[in-house]
Amino acid sequence: MTDHVVPPFFEPLGDQLWRRPPPSARGAIAAVGGLLAALGIVVATQGDDADVSRGVLAASGLGVGALAYISVLAVPRLWVREAGIAAASLAVAVVAAAIVDLDDASFTTFALVATAGWTGLYVAPGTRGRPVPLGLALLGLWFLLIDATTDGIVEFDSDAGTSAAIDAAAVSMLFGVAALAIGHAYDRRGWHGMLATPFFAVGNVAFWAGLAGVLADIGNGAAAAALAVLAGASIAFVGSHGADRRFTTWTGALGVGVGTSALVGEVLGDEASAVKGGLLIFAAGVALILAAALLVAPTTPAGSTTADSPAAGWYPDPGGGPGFRWWDGSAWTDHTADQAGDPPD
């Protein structure tokens, strides 16, 4: 059995790089509170004038960001850290909005400044490696790519045209695929926690937003339905082969369901009876169940003593990674062994 090797950059994260911490109501509520508190300060400092002063906006954003960042460094508590990171992330967006000329707004400039700020927050001491700044930076990168490959769609130009919307959908889908692939690669390396999760979160949003646009362009035909089934099955496979990405797995499965329902609709046509429709839907459901039985993921190791209680021991990594992973008799653990050949003693 070998210990996880943590790159120096991620040492402040400790075991959170590979271990996905359980959800914390305290941390989540504190983050929302920090976001609202920061927003309240920014709004209050603008006064009652209709015209927003760029100087005042920048000063309020910098002040909120500095206060939030100092609080994260000074008070090593979960709820303070989560509130501080949320407030600092909002402050980055506020400063970016102040830098951009509000009378002649440029989304590209705003996205560049905001993405750079979130990236800086991601690498800064105290907030290094945290998923929220990384996720926001990925969102900024996604919109920058759309802006760079389309003509006016991000600027909300009414003359952008349908082709720009189609291009934006295609770019979004490809960006989502790339983000999911990177997240899956990190999962295979055992970096399940703070690094892989933002890629899965943003990748899911970008992929399905792009796929929706592509399907709308294709129309409601059989090709669109088949594409939805194929995409959903691929996403479900990625989600289930790695670090148990439940959200990704379920969204992929829902995509399969939507695509299958659309295929049934294509078979039925416009003049369908309730009996025929019900029987086809039933048949489609049974087909999916049988397909699931054939494509079951290796969630339990071979050589189990019983189907419900497998024997504890070393088995090939079910996520597809090299070496072996320890099965404790009821669940996979974080202990791995990288040696090839036979499992360790």
Tokens matching residue 52: 């927003």
Q: What are phi and psi of 254, to 5 degrees?
A: -65, -35
Higher local confidence (pLDDT), 61 or 305: 61
User: Is pTM beyond 0.75 here?
Assistant: no
- Average of pLDDT values for 165-191? 85
State the pLDDT at residue 51.
Answer: 67
Higher local confidence (pLDDT), 289 or 164: 289
State the pLDDT at residue 138.
Answer: 95
The answer on pLDDT for 290 being more than 50 is yes
- Is the torsion defined by CA of 263, 265, 270, 271 positive or negative? positive
Lowest model confidence (mean pLDDT) among 7-11, 73-77, 294-298: 294-298
> Nearest CA to 325 among 303, 297, 295, 301?
301
State the pLDDT at residue 161.
Answer: 46
The answer on pLDDT for 119 being more than 90 is yes
Tokens matching residue 142: 């996604």
Order across the sheet with 324-327: list the strands: 313-316, 324-327, 332-337
The answer on pLDDT for 250 being more than 60 is yes
DSSP code of 191? -
**Residue located via tokens 């291009």:** 167
- Average of pLDDT values for 247-268? 85
